[in-house]
Amino acid sequence: MRADSRAREPAQLNLHPYLRVSSSPAYVKRLVGDKLDSRSNLCRFIGYPKETVEYYFYDPVEQKIFVSKNAVFLEKNFPSDSRRDEVLFEESSEEPQHDNTTSFEPPVLTDAVLVLRRSTRESRVPERYGFVGLTSQLDNDPKTYREAMSDIDSDKWLEAMKSEMDSPGGPT
């Protein structure tokens, strides 16, 4: 069985969600603005234009009445005292005052020097490099000509250098 919906008020059933409370505060999205400006203004809902889905709003800062569809109504946060609501809009209409006598205190630095902790773990070549990584660790080849000539196998190094020079491509 169904409950009789006629026993309740339409507001309790949320049958008319598009109807708004007159003079309720709302944040209205700005169409034009700078990148760093706020995206919406706190305005007051006034009414409905004829044959549209939009709303009339009053902006107390710019003192203009305009039509907009994009708004977030603050009906659930209604203050119980009407004077508090007026104060809310009076404060928003004033220009923010900046105090030019701001003081900046730099953070106090202590003399304690933080010592970086070094890892005691032994570094190894990852297994994905396989034999290539192992040979690079065991590479004991001489880097200069003097190192090659002072090595035990200096005669083999001389022979390898001569064959490199005599090759058709020349030294690489």
* The pairing of beta strand 71-73 with beta strand 64-68: unpaired
* In-domain check, residue 116: no
Quick one: DSSP state of residue 60? T
| Domain encompassing residue 73 | 9-93
Supply the mean pLDDT for the chain: 72
- Judge whether 26 and 43 are in contact, CB under 8 Å: yes
Q: How far is CA 20 from CA 8, 14, 23, 166, in A?
A: 19, 12, 9, 96
For residues 16 and 73, membership in a common domain is answered with: yes
Supply the pLDDT for residue 81. Answer: 47
For residues 88 and 131, membership in a common domain is answered with: no
Q: Which residue has the higher pLDDT, 137 or 83?
A: 137
Q: Which of 49, 72, 93 is the last residue of a domain?
A: 93
Q: What are the tens digits of pLDDT across the range 77-87? A: 655 545 545 55
* In-domain check, residue 49: yes
* 10 contacts: CB under 8 Å, gap ≥ 6: 16
Q: What are the tens digits of pLDDT across the range 9-37? A: 555 555 556 566 667 788 888 777 778 88
CA–CA separation, 89 and 30 (whole Å): 18
Q: Which of 93, 110, 144 is the last residue of a domain?
A: 93
For residues 138 and 71, membership in a common domain is answered with: no
For residues 83 and 156, membership in a common domain is answered with: no
* In-domain check, residue 110: no
**Does the pLDDT at position 143 exceed 60?**
yes
For residues 131 and 87, membership in a common domain is answered with: no
- Judge whether 151 and 160 are in contact, CB under 8 Å: no
* In-domain check, residue 136: yes
Spell 12-22 as b/e; 16+ CB within 10 A means b.
Answer: eeeeeeeebee
Query: H helices of 80-153, where?
Result: 82-93, 130-137, 145-150
Please give the structure tokens belonging to residue 65.
């009445």
Q: What is the pLDDT confidence band of residue 119, given thresholds at 50, 70 and 90?
A: confident
Q: What are the tens digits of pLDDT across the range 33-90? A: 778 888 888 888 888 888 777 888 888 888 888 888 878 877 666 555 455 455 555 5
Domain count for the chain: 2
